[in-house]
Amino acid sequence: MSKTQVNFILNGQPVEVLVEPRELLIHVLREQLLQTGSHIGCETSHCGACTVDFNGESVKSCTLFAVQAQDAKVITVEGLVSNGELHPLQQAFMDEHGLQCGYCTPGMLMRSYRLLQENPDPTEAEIRQGISGNLCRCTGYQNIIKSIQKAAAVINESGHDEAKSA
């Protein structure tokens, strides 16, 4: 199958890949660009393990063809650390036990990252609604919610928000 060249910004760096038109963004991120932080749980847009930040929106990267990423700004979990420092969400997930097996975690972090930009001070109900596209089988969500609340407080206090790559 003939391949198409796609250029986009991944975690702040320009990248160039040759892809088949049918290739999903998640596969290109993981297989070609070796960013294996984003995971695959269904490939049918249900689980959210593949969630990335795409032009300022949360997107399930199994729902997009890689060619649709032309000129896009994509952030994955690998881009959350800035200047060697964990993002407040990463720190909060660790502090509040917001993860167990870690498989949903990158997607959950990327969704929370965007959620807090959309709504810097969400209520519990808003968080529950806001992460409802991301499934977790391990935590029962309660500590994830706590983690997001804690990160929101830290960000609101310190003004820390953007990932390095944003």
Partner 1 sequence: MAATAESLERKEKLQGIGCSRKRKEDPRFIQGKGIYVDDVKLPGMVYGALVRSPHAHARIKSINKEKALALPGVITVLTADDLKPLNLHWMPTLGSDVQAVLADEKVGFQLQEVAMVIAEERYIAADGVDLVEVEYEELPAITDPHKSMDPDAPIIREDLVGKDEVGHGKRLHDNHIFTWEAGDKDSTDAVFDKAEVTIKEEILNPRVHPCPIETCGCVASFDKINGHLTVHMTTQNSHLVRTVLAMLSGIPESKIRVITNDIGGGFGNKVPIYPGYVVAIVASIVLGRPVKWIESRIENLSTTGFARDYHGTAELAADKEGHIQALRFNVLADHGAFNAHVSATKWPAGLFSICTGSYDIPTAYVKVDAVFTNKAPGGVAYRCSLRVTEAVYLIERMIDILAQKLNIDKAEIRRRNFIQADQFPYNTSLGWTLDSGNYGPALDKVLKAVDYEGLRKEQAEKRAKGELMGIGISTFTEIVGAGPTKACDILGIGLFDSCEIRVNPTGSAIARMGTQSQGQGHETTYAQIIATELGIPSDEIQVEEGDTDKAPYGAGTWGSRTTPVGAAAVTKAARKIRDKARKIAAHLLEVSEDDLEWDVDQFRVKGVPDQVKTMKEIAMAAYSNVPEGMENGLEAVDYYDPPNFTFPFGAYVCVIDIDPQTGEIKVRRFYALDDCGTRINDMIIEGQIHGGLTEAFAVSMGQLIDFDEEGNLLGNSLMDYFVPTAVETPHWETDYTVTPSPHHPLGAKGVAESPHVGGIPCFSNAVIDALSHLGVTHVDMPHTAARIWKKLHELGVAK
90 binds partner 1 (CB under 8 A): yes
6 binds partner 1 (CB under 8 A): no
Give the interface segment with partner 1, choosing from 53-61, 64-72, 142-150, 151-159 (CB under 8 A): 142-150
From partner 1, ligand FES, none, interface partner of 165 (C-beta below 5 to 8 A by class): none
- 87's torsion region: left (phi>0), alpha (psi -120 to 50) or beta? beta
For residue 164 the two structure tokens come to 């390095």
Q: How far apart are CA 83 and CA 85, in angstroms?
A: 5
* Minimum distance from residue 59 beta carbon to partner 1 (Å): 17
* Minimum distance from residue 157 beta carbon to ligand FES (Å): 27
**Which string of x and - marks every residue 49-88 that binds partner 1 (by CB under 8 A)?**
x--------------------------xxx-xx----x--
Nearer to ligand FES, 9 or 40 (CB): 40
From ligand FES, partner 1, none, interface partner of 120 (C-beta below 5 to 8 A by class): none
From partner 1, ligand FES, none, interface partner of 50 (C-beta below 5 to 8 A by class): ligand FES
150 binds partner 1 (CB under 8 A): no
Sheet of 4-10: strands edge to edge? 13-19, 4-10, 73-75, 51-54, 57-60
H helix intervals, 22-141:
25-27, 88-95, 105-118, 124-130
* Minimum distance from residue 42 beta carbon to partner 1 (Å): 4
The pair phi, psi for residue 123, each rounded to 5°, is -80, 170
- Cα→Cα distances 94→1, 14, 33, 118, Å: 44, 30, 27, 23
